[in-house]
Amino acid sequence: MKRLFVAIKIHPSPELLQVYYGLKKDLALEKIKWVEENNFHLTLKFLGSTYTSLMDGIDTALKNVSLHTRSFEIRMQDPGIFGSRYDPRVIWLGIENNTQLAEFANNVLIELDQVGFPRDRQNFVPHLTIGRMKHIHNKKHLKNVIDKHKGNLIHQEPVNEFYLYESILTRKGPVYKVLKEYSLT
C-alpha cells in the first residue's frame, strides 16, 4: 500500500516566500509546524492508503483528465485559517476564484470516483497549506498577523501539469515522491 494524493506543484515566487517567511517570523513564538517550501502543493484529491493494484486505474483516470484540460493560471492572495478562531488548525494562502481550476478539480474528482475513490463530503476549497498549528498562545496576535498580509496578490503560477504523489511519513516530516506527471494540453 502507498499513501497517495493528486496535486499541483507550487513553485514559490519571491513574493510568496516573502509572505511565508514574514508569517513564520511574526508567529515564531507559536507552536506551528511549517510546510517546507519545496513541499508546497495544491491538493486536488487525497487518496490515502491505496493498494498498488489500483494504480493502473488511477493512472488511466488522471491521463483522461490531462487529455481534456488546457493549461491555465492560478493566483494566490490572502492568508487565512481553517478551524475556528478559538481553535485554529491550519494557515493557508487562498486561491483566487478560477472557473478553469474548479472545472479541472471537479474532473479529477469525477474520474477518480469512477475508479473507486469517492468524492469527499466537503466542497473543493483551493488553498496552499503553509502551516499546521499545534498550539496558539495569542489568538489575537495570530489574527493581526493574518490580516497584515491580506489584500495583496501573493503569487501567480501557470499550471501546465499535475502529479500523482506518494506521501512517505518520517519523523522529520512527510517526504513527497512524484510517481507520475500528467501534462495539460
CB 164 within 8 A of CB 4: yes
CATH superfamily of 2-183: Cyclic phosphodiesterase (3.90.1140.10)
Q: What is the pTM of this model?
A: 0.93
Which pLDDT score, from 0 to 100, does residue 47 have? 97
Q: Which residues are identified as catalytic?
A: 41, 127
Phi-psi region of 78 (alpha: psi -120 to 50; beta: other; left: phi over 0): left
Which pLDDT score, from 0 to 100, does residue 173 have? 83
Q: Domain residue spans in the chain? A: 2-183
Q: Which three cell numbers stand for residue 167?
A: 506521501
CA dist 37 and 164 (Å) reads 19
Which pLDDT score, from 0 to 100, does residue 166 have? 97
CA dist 22 and 28 (Å) reads 10
Buried b (16+ CB within 10 A) or exposed e, 82-109: eeeeeebebbbbbbeebeebeebbebbb
pLDDT per residue as tens, the chain (185 positions): 999 999 999 999 999 999 999 999 999 999 999 999 999 999 999 999 999 999 999 999 999 999 999 999 999 989 999 988 788 999 999 999 899 999 999 999 999 999 999 988 778 889 999 999 999 999 999 999 999 888 878 899 999 999 999 999 998 888 999 999 999 98
CA dist 5 and 25 (Å) reads 30
Which pLDDT score, from 0 to 100, does residue 29 have? 94
